[in-house]
């Protein structure tokens, strides 16, 4: 027992400060008829090995575009992507060709999307779809692929996996389909998984079960995970670190514990308050006032100032820089030091 503890400790130490993904200054622009839509404006993102980093923010703030850019899945005819550095496990992926990326996807990095019905092929059984993944990446027989697929279904808690292997996607419930996507994402033991709103389409109880499966699989496999969600309550038990995104920029980055204990950005505070209110007053969802600005016409100064109760003249004029605090957490706000920004 003692020895096991020691080896676990060494493993954690080895993992420390080893980056699975490192992105510096990612920008994504969609040239539109009406002008330029700056969806992502210079994001830095890094995920250590075996860790879970969450990207949180309201719908439309650029979370999916960030993840698609990381997988190099944005259509170059629509999106202009610029990045200073994009390394996966120390390898520069900016220059990789599409065939080279295809080899990486699934094997080294894979994605779980919100909508399992559109991610799965409706006319193929889920078992065959899993078989295909195994056979694409490993030289194995059909029989061996089937055995691995059934095991993969069992690992994500699908009851009677031999039976479900033969099911078509529409024959499974939403939660079961999402488990199939998780099984597919983990099939080839990738180093990094990007889960984009993996449980948004599910009801709350099923959502919790599916998140538990995702979290267990991540920990068991030592996979790095980027968990994308508009719902802060989803990440509290799963993420090691949280990046809060607003209008294409990261406005706050901190360990999950620090962020919930003391959010520094007024936007983060608003998100946390809305989660807290949701759990005590039934059905009363307290939101941050107004909504996101038009992405084609973002305000001058801090993008959050029109919705911020603490905005000053400086906030209306100048975009705050990302300030790094002593303990490594970061915040993009002129007034975070003001007492008003702390949780009451």
Which chain residues interact with Mg ion by CB under 5 A?
A: 64
List the one residue from 18, 25, 78, 162 that touches ligand ADP (CB under 6 A): 78
The strand pairing partners of 225, in sequence order, are: 52, 193
User: Does residue 61 bind ligand ADP (CB under 6 A)?
Assistant: yes
CB of 196 to Mg ion, least distance (A): 6
Alpha-carbon span 342 to 328, nearest angstrom: 18
Question: 109 is in the binding site of which of Mg ion, ligand ADP, none (Cβ under 5 to 8 A by kind)?
Answer: none
Report the b/e string of 222-252 with b at 16+ CB within 10 A. ebbbbbbbbebbbbeebbbbbbbbbbbbbbb
List the one residue from 26, 39, 111, 308 that touches ligand ADP (CB under 6 A): 39
Name the residue among 70, 86, 32 with its Cα closest to residue 294: 32
Closer of 295 and 320 to ligand ADP (Cβ):
295
- Give every CB contact of residue 59 below 8 A, 6+ residues apart in sequence: 230, 292
Q: What is the CA radius of gyration of the chain?
A: 21
User: Does residue 64 bind ligand ADP (CB under 6 A)?
Assistant: yes
Question: 210 is in the binding site of which of ligand ADP, Mg ion, none (Cβ under 5 to 8 A by kind)?
Answer: none
CB of 32 to ligand ADP, least distance (A): 6
Is residue 196 within a helix (H) or strand (E), and if so which, with residue range? Answer: strand 192-196
Closer of 78 and 118 to ligand ADP (Cβ):
78
Taking CB atoms, the residue at the shortest distance from Mg ion is 64
Taking CB atoms, the residue at the shortest distance from ligand ADP is 64
| Sign of CA pseudo-dihedral 175, 180, 183, 184 | negative
- Please say whether the beta carbons of 147 and 153 come within 8 A: no
Question: 88 is in the binding site of which of Mg ion, ligand ADP, none (Cβ under 5 to 8 A by kind)?
Answer: none
Alpha-carbon span 342 to 266, nearest angstrom: 8
Closer of 57 and 301 to ligand ADP (Cβ):
57
List the one residue from 20, 53, 65, 250 that touches ligand ADP (CB under 6 A): 65
Question: 177 is in the binding site of which of ligand ADP, Mg ion, none (Cβ under 5 to 8 A by kind)?
Answer: none
**Cβ atoms within 10 A of the Cβ of 164, count?**
21
Question: 78 is in the binding site of which of Mg ion, ligand ADP, none (Cβ under 5 to 8 A by kind)?
Answer: ligand ADP
Size of the residue set binding ligand ADP (CB under 6 A): 13
Closer of 69 and 172 to Mg ion (Cβ):
69
Closer of 80 and 343 to ligand ADP (Cβ):
80
Tokens found for residue 31: 């040239």
Helices 174-186 and 126-137: crossing angle, nearest 10°?
Answer: 10
Give the residue carrying structure tokens 């993904």.
21
CB of 45 to Mg ion, least distance (A): 15
Q: What residues line the site for ligand ADP (CB under 6 A)?
A: 30, 37, 39, 57, 59-65, 78, 295
């Amino acid at each position: 027992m003692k020895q096991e503890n020691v080896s676990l400790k060494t493993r954690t130490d080895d993992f420390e400060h080893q980056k699975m993904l490192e992105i510096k200054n990612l920008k994504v622009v969609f040239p539109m008829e009406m002008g330029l839509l700056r969806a992502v404006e210079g994001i830095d993102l890094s995920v250590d090995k075996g860790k879970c980093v969450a990207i949180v923010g309201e719908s439309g703030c650029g979370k999916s575009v960030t993840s698609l850019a990381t997988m190099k899945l944005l259509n170059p005819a629509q999106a202009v992507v610029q990045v200073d550095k994009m390394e996966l496990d120390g390898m520069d992926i900016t220059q990789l060709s599409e065939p080279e990326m295809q080899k990486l996807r699934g094997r080294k990095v894979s994605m779980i999307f919100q909508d399992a019905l559109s991610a799965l092929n409706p006319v193929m059984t889920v078992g065959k779809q899993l078989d295909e993944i195994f056979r694409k990446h490993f030289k194995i027989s059909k029989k061996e692929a089937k055995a691995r697929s059934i095991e993969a279904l069992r690992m994500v808690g699908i009851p009677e996996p031999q039976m479900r292997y033969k099911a078509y996607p529409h024959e499974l419930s939403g939660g079961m389909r999402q488990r199939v996507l998780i099984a597919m994402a983990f099939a080839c033991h990738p180093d990094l998984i990007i889960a984009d709103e993996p449980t948004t389409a599910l009801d709350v109880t099923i959502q919790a079960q599916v998140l538990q499966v995702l979290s267990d699989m991540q920990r068991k496999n030592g996979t790095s995970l980027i968990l994308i969600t508009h719902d802060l309550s989803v990440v509290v038990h799963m993420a090691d670190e949280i990046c809060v995104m607003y209008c294409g920029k990261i406005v706050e980055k901190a360990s999950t514990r620090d962020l919930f204990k003391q959010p520094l950005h007024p936007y983060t505070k608003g998100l946390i308050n809305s989660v807290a209110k949701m759990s005590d007053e039934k059905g009363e969802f307290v939101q941050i006032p107004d909504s996101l600005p038009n992405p084609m016409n973002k305000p001058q100064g801090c993008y959050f100032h029109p919705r911020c109760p603490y905005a000053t003249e400086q906030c209306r004029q100048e975009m705050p820089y990302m300030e790094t605090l002593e303990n490594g957490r970061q915040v993009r706000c002129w007034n975070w030091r003001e007492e008003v920004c702390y949780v009451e």
